[in-house]
């Protein structure tokens, strides 16, 4: 690990400037990273704006009835989601001083809703999330998680960055209705509706995307935030002339007390008459793998994009970051909002110049305020926010220039890592495809000795991860 002078032994990135202007600057190392307080505040606001949708989306995903037919209250989930995101983002920003914000991970909440609660209750599902978090913290605290991180070749780390860029861009395309599912075997997806961008929200997405692209191209500070505000104002005007479902009137009020009734609604006394022990083990196994590698991949990509990573892909206070990320799962389970993990949308704030935990702290405070101002979190139309994701995805793609494609042993794993993520809507799947293919291709082409022993173990674990369906069937586990 390359180590640069720092106030903590975990700091790995080279400082941009060594002259702090005040205590706040000194604590968050703002000047050292070539940033300013204004830039950090702006970046924190932009990150919140692009992440705020999770307060609305998470309750929708977690609305699936559990094995007993119980459905979580939507308003309570929304409040818990905002609370958890705010607390964990603030905690992460203050401890690690990195510009990565936290919220309920989309992959994990979907796994809980569509796979786990068919066999257990919601309180039991959240207990599994907490167990997963405890395992993650243990792996991080003992250094094993960092050892696995170090075992990953630099090319794969860069591929993870590229893959995440493609992934969040694809999320933006889908959320905006620019790319839609056809329901057919071929083609499985299409442009807009019937190959045409025919809806007003999608047109607003295109306009906001092009506006942001122009502003970024001319290197205007605050380009993404300006594009988001401009797109929102345009959406409000268009909605007045041609109503298409947006509500900017706040007829129900803009403020309400948060419903925190789901906090502590966790049950570790699993009913083994409804679910087998093997099933619970497989649930936890899947949660750990998804949580572990989604977060690792996301942090790697964001650190690289923020120019905080060294040549090996290490970034400041990495051990603390990995421990706090595990705590996010514990807190998310305890609040019944699902595992809180680092969000790829943090790249939008990084794209605005955010480089420190001050930006993260701003985002955290806004999430805490969002508990009381839920209507305001939906002020920015989804299609407009989606444009920011595509812009950030395009920026993250620039990391591909550092990858040497002259060796097919590198090319194939990099290609699979970057393409499997968006195609399967999973960072973990992309990382797994890259790890397994790296080990197989290099081992069978005469380079087995260059593969780190831990990479063999992780690749084997991913083989089990990908084969969990047949394994569950073999043991009679109905997931």
Residue with tokens 């056809």: 182
Residue 102: predicted pLDDT = 96
Burial 82-98 (b: 16+ CB within 10 A, else e): bbbbbbbbbbbbbbbbb
The answer on pLDDT for 466 being more than 80 is yes
CB 161 within 8 A of CB 301: yes
Q: Taking residues 101-111, what's their average pLDDT?
A: 87
Q: How confident is the model at residue 250 (pLDDT cuts 50, 70, 90)?
A: low
d(CA 386, CA 343): 14
| CA angle 161–299–350, rounded 5-degree value | 80
pLDDT digits (tens, 9 = 90+) for 147-166: 887 788 889 988 988 998 89
| Comparison of pLDDT for 469 and 387, the residue scoring more | 387
CB 204 within 8 A of CB 231: yes
Residue 196: predicted pLDDT = 85
The mean of the pLDDT values for the chain is 87
Least confident of 198-207, 274-283, 298-307: 274-283
3-state SS assignment for residue 190 = strand
d(CA 211, CA 375): 26
The answer on pLDDT for 232 being more than 60 is yes
pTM comes to 0.75
Residue 433: predicted pLDDT = 94
In three state form, how does the secondary structure of 228-272 look?
Answer: HHHHHHHHHHHHHHCCCCCCCCCCCCCCCCCCCCCCCCCCCCCCC
First and final C-alpha spacing in the chain: 42
Q: Taking residues 94-99, what's their average pLDDT?
A: 96
In three state form, how does the secondary structure of 9-26 look?
Answer: CCCCCCCCCCCCCCHHHH
d(CA 210, CA 114): 36
């Amino acid at each position: 690990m390359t180590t640069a002078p720092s106030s903590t032994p975990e700091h790995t990135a080279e400082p941009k400037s060594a002259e702090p202007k005040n205590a706040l600057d000194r604590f968050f190392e703002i000047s050292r990273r070539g940033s300013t307080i204004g830039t950090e505040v702006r970046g924190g606001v932009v990150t919140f704006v692009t992440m705020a949708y999770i307060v609305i989306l998470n309750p929708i995903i977690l609305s699936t009835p559990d094995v007993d037919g119980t459905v979580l209250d939507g308003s309570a989930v929304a409040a818990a989601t905002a609370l958890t995101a705010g607390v964990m983002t603030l905690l992460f920003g203050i401890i690690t001083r990195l510009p990565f914000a936290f919220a309920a991970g989309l992959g994990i909440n979907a796994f809980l809703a569509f796979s786990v609660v068919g066999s257990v209750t919601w309180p039991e599902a959240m207990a599994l999330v907490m167990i997963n978090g405890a395992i993650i913290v243990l792996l991080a605290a003992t250094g094993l998680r960092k050892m696995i991180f170090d075992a990953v070749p630099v090319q794969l780390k860069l591929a993870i960055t590229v893959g995440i860029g493609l992934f969040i861009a694809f999320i933006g395309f889908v959320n905006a209705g620019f790319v839609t599912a056809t329901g057919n075997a071929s083609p499985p997806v299409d442009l807009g509706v019937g190959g045409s961008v025919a809806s007003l929200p999608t047109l607003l997405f295109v306009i906001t995307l092009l506006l942001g692209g122009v502003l970024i191209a001319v290197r205007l500070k605050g380009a993404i935030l300006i594009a988001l505000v401009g797109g929102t104002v345009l959406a409000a005007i268009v909605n007045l002339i041609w109503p298409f479902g947006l509500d900017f009137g706040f007829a129900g009020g803009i403020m309400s007390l948060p419903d925190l009734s789901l906090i502590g609604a966790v049950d570790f006394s699993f009913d083994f008459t409804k679910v087998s022990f093997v099933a619970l083990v497989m649930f936890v196994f899947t949660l750990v793998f998804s949580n572990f590698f989604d977060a690792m991949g996301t942090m790697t990509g964001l650190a690289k994009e923020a120019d905080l990573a060294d040549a090996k892909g290490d970034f400041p206070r990495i051990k603390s970051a990995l421990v706090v990320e595990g705590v996010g799962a514990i807190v998310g389970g305890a609040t019944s909002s699902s595992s809180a993990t680092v969000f790829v949308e943090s790249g939008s704030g990084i794209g605005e110049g955010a480089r420190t935990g001050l930006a993260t702290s701003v985002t955290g405070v806004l999430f805490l305020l969002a508990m009381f101002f839920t209507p305001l979190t939906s002020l920015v139309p989804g299609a407009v926010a989606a444009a920011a994701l595509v812009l950030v995805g395009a920026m993250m793609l620039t990391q591909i220039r550092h990858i040497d494609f002259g060796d097919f042993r590198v090319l194939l794993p990099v290609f699979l890592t970057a393409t499997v993520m968006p195609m399967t809507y999973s960072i973990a799947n992309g990382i797994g495809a890259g790890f397994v293919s790296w080990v197989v291709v290099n081992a069978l082409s005469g380079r087995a000795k260059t593969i780190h022993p831990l990479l063999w173990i992780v690749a084997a674990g991913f083989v089990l991860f990908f084969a969990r369906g047949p394994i569950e069937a073999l043991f009679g586990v109905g997931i």
